[in-house]
Structures are given as structure tokens and as C-alpha cells.
Chain A
Amino acid sequence: MLSSRRHTATDYFAAQEYLHSRGWTDGLPVMPPTEAAVAAMLEYALLPADHLIGVESVRARAISAEKLAINAVMAGCLPSHFPIVVTAFTAMLQEPYLLHGATASTGGNAVLIIINGPVLQELGIDSTFNVLGASDRATAPIGRAIRLVLRNLMDVRPGQVDRSTLGHPGKISFCFGEDETNTSWTPLAQQRGVPEHASAVTVMAAGSPRQLMNEWTTQPEEILDTFVAEIKTNMRHYSIWPGNYAIVVPPQLRTHFESAGWSKSDIADYVFENARIYRRDWADCGKGAVVRHKGDQQYAALPDADHLMVVAAGGPAGGFGAVIPPWLGHKSRAVTMAVGACVDCE
């Protein structure tokens, strides 16, 4: 039994403009959240409408499955996508994510959602071509559903709770799956403690992806030096504070790592050791005023090697990778959660 207030519209187009006029959309067309469509979401996930997903701590606001389902319908999700939306939002409600700070900040980060496990095949998630730019039927609406949830349930609208100076395009939707098929590497979720063969979601308060290219070497260290240079640039130009970084490694570059026997852990160790700058480096990019007497102080991008999330994804050709930086160092930490996992169960 759904409890949300009903609204009526004469046709599909009137429904669009009504929803836009209430400020309930991101400006793009939405699917009208009919009772049948919302019920189908809940039924697929085997969740009662009044099931408590969690409580947002700053507002003490309880979030029900029904409210999440309404926004998932509006975003264009299929019922089969809904468990991912539920898991992603549940992960965001965990204390390490710092939901209010991450969504209210002027820093303008987005919710990055990385999917692992059998659900990749079940949902037809394509982790190859154009992986960071909406590559399949599932990832774009899942990421958008989370954005609509934040807007409509948390007041995270531009100029209200969302104080982003700029934001970035990932705030429309920022979701992709790891390519577990074309690699021998351990999946990200498994590295972060989820059992093998379980589906899982990792969420991270993330800046915009910074794309790089190095097709001129086969040496793992030299390839990683390009990633490290990009991370160090972010530390100089954006934020020096250590936190979670994600790097996306495409097949053409993975070939060189795998040929040399490099695991994800080997990559993380190398990046941890090398992605460091001195505070005096800030003087080279206009931030000399805050160097003061701390010029010789060294900063690492990662608190430890485990904070690097190495993700296999991308189309088959091209030595292009990406660095996805954290919002503000360690204030918000990435959270990984298995799909269907019970939080606070007795």
C-alpha cells in the first residue's frame, strides 16, 4: 500500500511540466511515477513500501523504500535496477560517506557508483566502450535515480542544500560497472571485503574524471607515472588532502600490467609510494600564500595503498585511463556494500 500523495495530470506531457514545475526533476524528461510503476519496483526488490532504508542523520529524516522507488521510476529505471539504487543509497547513509557534507559542499562532487558482481550480466551493464559516458540501459538511470533522490528527499537542489560552485557533469549520473570479464584482476568489491560472486555497489563522493593517455610504453611503472602525474596535478590544483582515489584502467593498458604480472595491489602500492607532493609545490600554481613555513611538508595522495580503487573498464582500443579524485580528502570515504545485504539486522 503506497502512502505518498497522488497527483493527477491530463496526459504524459502535462505530467512532465507538472513535475518540472514542482522542482522534482533535473530538467530532463522523467517517467511519471504511476502507482503501478512504483509498486513494480518494490515488488522486484521484495520491499514493503514502508520499509525503512535508513535515516539521514543531519535531518533525522527517515527514508522509505516507497520514496526511493518513486525517484527510481522517474529516473527511468527498470524494476531490476531498483536493488542497485537501494544498495547505493543505503551505502551513502553509512557514517563514513558523510552524506550531508558531501552533497552540500561548494566543492561540487558527484556520487560515483561502481557496480560489481553477477548483476553486471543480469542487467546487461556494458563496461567497455564509452564506459564513463552512459554505455547501457542500466547505469545512466541508476546514477540519475540517486541524484533525484538527493534532490527530492534531501533538498539537494542547486542553491538550496547543494551549494556547488560549479558541480560537474557526473552530477547528472555517474555510474558504471567494472569489466570483470576481460581481466584476471580481483574485482573491486571483492578487494573491499565483499564475498566472491556477490553483487555489490561502491559509492564515492567524487570529483570529475580526469582523462589521461599513455600509449608510448609497455612498462607498468611508466604507465602509472602518468596516472600519478594526474593525481599530483589534482593535489596541486584542487585539494592536497589524502583520500580515496579511483583509477580506471582500460584493456590496452591492462594488457601491459597483466603481462608483467602486476595485480591491483601492486598498482596501489606503486601509486601510494609515488603520488606525493610537497606543500611548496603550491607556490608553482598561484597558491604560495598558504605555503608559509610548511614548504617541506610532504603530502601523500592516499592515506594508505588500500585507499586506491583500481577499476578495470573501458573500450578495447586506446591507452586512455582516468583518475577520479575525492571530494575533499578523507572527510568522505568510499563505502562498498553487497546488494541485498542487511544493515543493522538483529
Chain B
Amino acid sequence: MAAERLGVPAAGIMTSQFVSAAELMARVLGAEGFPFVVIEHPISSAGSDGLEQRARTAIDDCARLLIQSQ
């Protein structure tokens, strides 16, 4: 969010369990509805395959978000 305000396209990534926290912080920071990428929770016990799947999802969604932001 800080990067976007500086004119640098950016995409935040949240796991599904932190969506409400991210939405709250966006509201608190005066950017209600600020879009971010959501990946499956949890990360720490996901294993290599699970991490790769989350990363691939995140790459596509981040790319879409960065282009939209512009």
C-alpha cells in the first residue's frame, strides 16, 4: 500500500486466514477495498508441492493486479 502511494505498482499477498485482517488494515489506512492476492493457508506446513502451487497462483494473480493497478 505504501509502495502504491509512492507510485510504485505493488501487490500484497495474504493467506486466506488473514483476509479480514488485511481488509481491516486497508480500511484503517484509508484505502478501503484495496485489492490483494489471496493464497491458501497455511504456508509453513504446505510442503514443496503445496508451496509451488500457491506460488503459481500468486504469480498469475499478482501480474493481473499489477496491470490493473496501472
Contacts and interface: CB of A to CB of B under 8 A. Distances in A.
Contacts of B8: none
B3 interface: no
A20 interface: no
A59 B28 CA distance: 7
B29 A163 contact: no
A104 B28 contact: no
Which secondary structure dominates chain A's binding surface? loop
User: Interface size for chain A: under 10, 10 to 19, 20 to 34, or 35 or more residues?
Assistant: 10 to 19
A161 B25 contact: yes
Nearest to A157: B24
B18 interface: yes
Interface string A189-221: 000000000000000000000000000000000
A120 B25 CA distance: 38
- B-side interface mostly: helix
Nearest to B47: A289
B29 A160 contact: no
A17 to B, nearest CB: 25
B68 interface: no
Interface in B1-29: 18, 20-21, 24-25, 28-29
Nearest to A59: B28
A160 B24 contact: yes
18 contacts: A58-B25, A58-B29, A59-B25, A59-B28, A59-B29, A60-B29, A61-B28, A104-B21, A155-B28, A159-B20, A160-B20, A160-B21, A160-B24, A161-B21, A161-B24, A161-B25, A163-B18, A163-B21
Interface of A: 58-61, 104, 155, 159-161, 163
Top 9 closest pairs, chain A to chain B, by CB: A59-B28, A160-B24, A163-B21, A155-B28, A155-B24, A59-B29, A161-B24, A161-B21, A163-B18
